[in-house]
Structure 1
Amino acid sequence: MFKPRPTALLALGALALAGALTTPAASVATSAEDGTVAPVQKALDDLVKKDKFPAALATLRDTYGQEQFFTAGVGDLKTKSEVPQDGRVRIASNTKMFTATVVLQLVGEGKIKLDTPIEKYLPGLVRGKAGDGRKITVRQILQHTSGLPDYDEIVFVDGLKTLRKYFKPQDMVDYALKKKALFKPGKGWGYSNTNYVLAGLIVEKVTGRSIGDQITSRIIKPLDLRDTYWPDARDKSIQGPHPHGYFAAKPNQPWIDVTTFDPSSGWAAGQLIGTPGDLNRFLVALLNGELLEPAQLAEMKKTVNAPDSGATEGGRYGLGLSTVKLSCGGFAWTHGGDAPGYSTRNAVTKDGRAAAIAVTALATTLEAHKNVEKALDTALCDQ
């Protein structure tokens, strides 16, 4: 559920309910300079017109910190309300970047060691055919090289009904431990939300405070991310201006409004709510060294090949941070996130250009999924 790759998104089939809703025509914005449609606006319009997303929104940030905002579609299919500019959405697996940052801050403080087995911090928790905490390091859970299986398809076996259910972190770990390991620790790469639930538990063990409190006090408040927050326990709503989020199991099926649901199944792997603009500000600050000391930022940027990362060709994964090749040359630092109702893609280039794209539904086709990523590429390469 909270992973930036298409396979899991398209495997949630047979969940749609009755009640026909139609996707409206996209809005058209023009460039202030010559009256032509900006490439990023056209990309968003196409996501609504051609790929049938209810809405799309984007925030671009140039090397000087100047922002541009774009929207297409409508924020609510029933009322046809406008898409709020830089509206709040569930940023899902982008939460992993925040969790990894907190872990690395604690590494810098000497409270956690990257190459120490997680057994030191969570004694006896990980045992069995899924993996052994005595053989899996902190680095490996942050890098998705632990071999631990994901819990998502077990948690969501009851489909959309599960979105109303509250989960404790231990619940997700228990689900995952019923499965077989993907590979031996360090012998492969496999995206697993379980890794980041364990990372969150380690943070809580060594600090004595919740992962939500740590993310808020160490990242959100210092950076003044006013539109990013950790939802309270059992808070199913999205506070502040936001577009509604929708779900359909297959193309051409009616959209189901899934704006409100319990985000606890994402937890340290995917619980945060934020805006495209705040994602840009966070990533720029992170890569500028405002959150981590040079040694820890260097560790975060050490990547391994990640063929199933969901990024376009050439993707590699570090410690909660990924890379994506750009059509205009070079690469950008990125992550992305998918949860019922929302998909986000965001990245920052070496020279500090940033862009974040959000759509208000999970892609129902692989082509639509790729077009969201292409829109991000357009947003970065057209600046």
Structure 2
Amino acid sequence: MIRTDSGRAAPSGDDDTPSDRMAVHLVWEIGLLLLAGGVLFALTQTDAGPFADGSWTGLFAALAPVIMLTSAMAVSLRIGAVNLAVGPIALFAAWMFTDASSSGSIMALGVGLGVAAFVGIVLATLTAWLRAPGWAASGAVGGAIGLWAGGTGDPSQFMLSELPGTAVLAALGAAIGVSLFFGLVGAFSGVRARLAPIRRTPAGERHGRGGLVFFGVLLSSTLAGAAGVVAAWTAVPEGGAAALPDPILLTVLALGAALVGGTSLMGRRGGVFGTVLASTLLLGLMWLAEGRGWGFNPSWIALGAIVAGFLITRLVEVMNTADESETASTRRAGNLADLREDDPPAAERDRTDAAAFDERGEYDEDFAGLGTGDPWTNTGGIRTTGSIPKQGAAADPFGASGVFDDLRDAPRDGYGSPRHGR
């Protein structure tokens, strides 16, 4: 840190985080858009999945919770605390929402989202304040929820009516809006700069961003709870029994979609539209595999997306490495400390005059003596001013050594050239 003349601290450039290249995310998201559009078109040509009854409502009803859950996973990845408990939290919220449905929709929503927020506070405390790695803390919380769900049984009968088509469309719009909003916020260089210490600091050490991690984990858990509530409310069976989501499949699907969407496993980096497009692509592929009878469990697609996400993370990291070096060099340029470090001492600066170097680039002691009072320069009574010799009243302009006598006395032709042999 350098102090300016006004006494304020000027940034040194070392504390700033180089901005990321967003072009790699833009190009990848254009590819995701084309892939998702092609899969949806192929899905409309089948009689399976949400288009079995020729309606888009089934697609919207299933896509809204998946986008919410993927956004929850992407937020946790951005802050460097991957939340592997998004699926169990969604199950817990759906269970509590279904059990409280007899008290009305408002009360049921409050209970479902409230328990998700409570789990989020517990998980955020473990991750931000106790500094436990995100995968370990979320794995413990998810395991606890799984043990609880396995010993509790089914909730009470669901007493609310299924969401109408307009409400499903509103839920999908809200899910897309939340995803795009946080994607845009994460695209700002200032936000990424605040996330950089989390990325650089090893797990368990202080990075100074505990409040940001706490908020991110809480937001991720709340979004997961909202996804569970929407999944339970849009998949009401005719008998009124609980329609609880599969926590393991939801976690795998959310992680795969987040990575395929361009969110880096290393934290901080991510795109804007990738979460929505990747969620649509994976869900459409799973339905397409089931409708076309491809002969394997569609859940393998979600698992394969995680493996593909490893490669995409590597691509995102490699494409941003050069940009960090270039930006770091640019920010170092203009640093006053560099000027002081590179400035040679005064005695060495006196030796760097261009006239003191011969044609080979080596320092010439004899030539540097011009104008410095060197005895060789003053031979013959020549006075010097600066580096240009001046003649005295009785001085020989060719010096007293007699070296140039032949050139001085030789006869010359009309062009000033010496004539030899005449």
- Give the alignment's TM-score, normalised by structure 1: 0.27
Question: Larger C-alpha radius of gyration, 1 or 2?
Answer: 2
- Give the alignment's TM-score, normalised by structure 2: 0.25
Q: Hey, which of these two has a bigger chunk of helix by percent?
A: 2
Q: Hey, which of these two has a bigger chunk of strand by percent?
A: 1
